[in-house]
Amino acid sequence: EVAVLRYGHRPGRDDRMTTHVGLTARALGADRVILPDNASQSRATVADITDRFGGPFEVEQTAELDATIDRWSGAVVHLTMYGERVQDVAGDIRQRHRSEPLLIVVGGEKVPFEVYDAADWNVAVTNQPHSEVAGLAVFLDRLFEGRELAQEWEDAENRVVPQASGKRVVDGDGAADES
């Protein structure tokens, strides 16, 4: 199992970012996202996309971000620009994930030092400042070595048919919807 924990959320300001953490986790192979309790709007959006475009994928909320990390029975990765280089540690993390669930923590505004301490790995996708969405995407791709790109989706209402040009969306059962 791979779960993503969104650590911190400022309602209003972070709505799109938190939603995108959830959508990126879903699209790139994680099994679930855990959002802070004040991010209900993002939760609803991610759940709606999962209903329309398929799963399996779970969205949860918690009031206990620290306890979620402390009680995790498995390995914890915290994505931060200050961490070890993803290209140096991805192999060890992959190895550990063969036998244990993985929790990936991504921050928002400010991540307290306790999170760095609680993590088994603090991992940097470059040591440059950028975004939790970008960091998560590259990390998941390195973790799954590209296999997530070929994921099949279950119970989808909508399925996009890849096109060189234009948009084609069909029902989950294959009937043409629009073009």
Is 79 a binder of ligand SAM (CB under 6 A)?
Answer: yes
- Strand bridging mode 102-107 / 2-7: parallel
Site for ligand SAM in 107-136 (CB under 6 A): 107-108, 110-111, 124-126, 128-132, 135
Amino acid at 67: A
Residue from the set 19, 24, 42, 80 that interacts with ligand SAM by CB under 6 A: 80
Q: How far apart are CA 179 and CA 169, in angstroms?
A: 7
Nearer to ligand SAM, 46 or 89 (CB): 89
Q: Whole-number minimum distance, CB 143 to ligand SAM, in Å?
A: 13
Kindly write down the DSSP assignment for every residue of 46-67, as one continuous string.
HHHHHHHH-BS-EEEEES-HHH
Q: How far apart are CA 19 and CA 146, in angstroms?
A: 23
Residue from the set 65, 106, 119, 140 that interacts with ligand SAM by CB under 6 A: 106
Instruction: List residues binding ligand SAM (CB under 6 A).
Output: 79-81, 106-108, 110-111, 124-126, 128-132, 135
